[in-house]
Amino acid sequence: MAIPLFLKQKSTGVVYLNELKRFVKPYFMVPQNVGNQLGQVAVGALGTGNMILAPDQNGPFEGFYFTSEHGGNMLVRINDGGARRDLMNRDVHIDTIMTPVPGGQRPFMLPEGLWIQQRRSLLFTFTDLSGAAQTVRPVLHGRKFFLKQATPGLASKFIARRDMINQVTTPFFYTTDNDVNLPLATTANQQETITVNDEGHFLATKITCVSQGPFDFIIKDGRTGQSLSGAVRVSNTGCTGISRFPYVFPEPWLIERNSQIIIEFTNRFALGSNNIWMTWTGRRIYDEQYQEIL
């Protein structure tokens, strides 16, 4: 939701600078102080670590990009505590949604802003898969509203509308309902599903993957039975393990609530078994009151 630099007075036609622009600045949101180390979270071997992202009382924050400094394999789950919502169906691989550093020039871009009011917070839970202790230093890049210094009521209409949008739609991440583990055999296959439940529709915009080796996949629409692809080698999508280079759908796919995506994976890794983490990024649409956000 863009904030215009200029406004025009309807009665006179005079164009002037939007005063709200003076109080909105780029901002880098890092975890709150955890264990005397600001901005980082320790995760034990095969254990978990939690962090909280919360704006101060100066005003709300809207995040647009993810980057993270981390060592090895791990999963992440994001929960919007204020709205009591998970922003994913289950834990996803961190490399599919947070660009490893150095990644500032190619951060993982969210499909829409992640809105956090100053009285709310996001909870991140990291789970180690590497078997070794590691440290995570994530950053959510966005914009901060410094409203304590602003004229009272200056941003009230903007914030009320942004709150309404947040009730209707948010960024969301889906992964397969179960883990994908292909055994050692270059023709081994596994059929998996992604279930969009009755909490809302899902507008899928891009895919990212992490795997131990190459694989093919076929996508089907579980509601209609239509096949959306032949056997696609993952390298053709360019989405293997690099959130900075996601595969972006040429046309976003609206997947209605109570639907399933069916994906058939085939191992093409000749050197061993193949564990695959596939993340679909998009927008979750919770509410039918669409007129409120137009």
Which region among 95-99, 132-136, 143-147, 243-247 has the lowest average model confidence (pLDDT)? 243-247
Per-position b or e across 22-60, b if 16+ CB within 10 A of its CB: ebbeebebebeeeeeeebbbebeeeeebebebbbeeebb
What pLDDT score was predicted for residue 235?
Answer: 74
Question: Pairing relation of β-strands 41-43 and 134-145?
Answer: antiparallel
What pLDDT score was predicted for residue 54?
Answer: 84
What pLDDT score was predicted for residue 101?
Answer: 73
What pLDDT score was predicted for residue 112?
Answer: 94
Containing H/E element for 136?
Answer: strand 134-145
pLDDT in tens, 3-27: 989 999 888 989 999 999 999 999 9
Q: Which residues does 291 contact at the CB level (< 8 Å), separation at least 6?
A: none
The answer to whether 1 and 165 are in contact (CB under 8 A) is yes
> Are 15-169 and 174-293 the same fold in CATH?
yes
Per-position b or e across 239-269, b if 16+ CB within 10 A of its CB: bbbbbbebbeeeeeeebeeebbbbbbbbbbb
- Average pLDDT for 28-41: 72
What pLDDT score was predicted for residue 267?
Answer: 92
Q: How far apart are the C-alpha atoms of 153 and 151, rounded to whole Å?
A: 6
Closest CA relative to residue 66, chosen from 82, 87, 48, 85: 87
Q: Name the residue ranges covered by the structural domains of the chain.
A: 15-169, 174-293
Q: How far apart are the C-alpha atoms of 21 and 4, rounded to whole Å?
A: 8
284 vs 243 pLDDT, higher one: 284
The answer to whether 140 and 29 are in contact (CB under 8 A) is yes
- Average pLDDT for 170-175: 97
Enumerate the H helices of the chain as residue ranges. 156-168
Q: How far apart are the C-alpha atoms of 54 and 67, rounded to whole Å?
A: 17
Task: Burial-class residue 178 by CB neighbours within 10 Å (0-12, 13-18, 19+).
Answer: exposed
pLDDT in tens, 77-135: 999 987 789 999 999 999 999 987 766 678 899 999 999 988 788 999 999 999 999 99
- As a three-state string, the secondary structure of 219-284 is EEECCCCCECCCCEEHHHCCCECCCCCCEEEEEEEEECCCEEEEEEEEECCCCCCEEEEEEEEEEE
- Average pLDDT for 54-77: 89
240 vs 190 pLDDT, higher one: 190
- pLDDT above 70 for 215: yes
- % of the chain with per-residue pLDDT over 70: 93
CATH code of the domain made up of 15-169: 2.60.120
The answer to whether 62 and 102 are in contact (CB under 8 A) is no
Give strand pairing partners of 86.
79
What pLDDT score was predicted for residue 185?
Answer: 82
- Average pLDDT for 223-248: 78
Give strand pairing partners of 202.
255, 284
Confidence of residue 36 (pLDDT cuts 50, 70, 90): very low
- pLDDT above 70 for 239: no
Averaged confidence pLDDT in the chain: 88
What pLDDT score was predicted for residue 231?
Answer: 82
Domain 174-293 has CATH 2.60.120: yes
What pLDDT score was predicted for residue 292?
Answer: 66
What pLDDT score was predicted for residue 105?
Answer: 73
Confidence of residue 172 (pLDDT cuts 50, 70, 90): very high
